[in-house]
Structure 1
Amino acid sequence: MPGKKHGPGIKNPDMYEELREDGASKEKAARISNAAKSEGASEIGRRGGKAGDYEDWTVDELHERAAELDIEGRSSMNKGELIDALRNH
């Protein structure tokens, strides 16, 4: 595939590229596109949206989630910065 911008582990390259063009991180695009390929896009869409708004989370919860995603600089971030980092990782 000419102009391929991903590794061999991507199961749904077209969806991956669309997600990347929409601003998703490589990790997020790979996770969504691979899940959609193996489970079906409608199942992935039905499953999403259960986490709630980050604004409703405590700073400790945001720090914990940022640690799970290994976001750099999280220890010195305030709530707004954590939310931005989590949304754009």
Structure 2
Amino acid sequence: MEKQKLYERLQELHRELENTSSVDERTEEVLERLKNDISKLVREEASIEEEQEGLTRNLSEAVSHFDEEHPRLSMAIQYVLDSLARMGF
């Protein structure tokens, strides 16, 4: 059940990332890293367990980066982090 919720949140976050526009170079790097991580998981090319460390690190960095300029995106990222935490990651 919790894993299904996580996948739903990942898909939601992926849509938010795709719709984010007008960003600087650093933000573009953060977005690309997250899109790649999430895309692998959503397509189930990797398991959460395999990608957990990098994903958690990238998500945490992104929350800080997007907090002021993209609060909606930051909130979506935080939901994913919360889901990972509830799953013990």
- Shorter-chain-normalised TM-score: which range? under 0.3
Which of the pair has the greater relative contact order for Cα pairs under 8 Å at 6+ separation? Answer: 2
- Give 1 or 2: higher helix fraction: 2
Larger Rg: 1
TM-score by length of 1: 0.26
TM-score by length of 2: 0.26
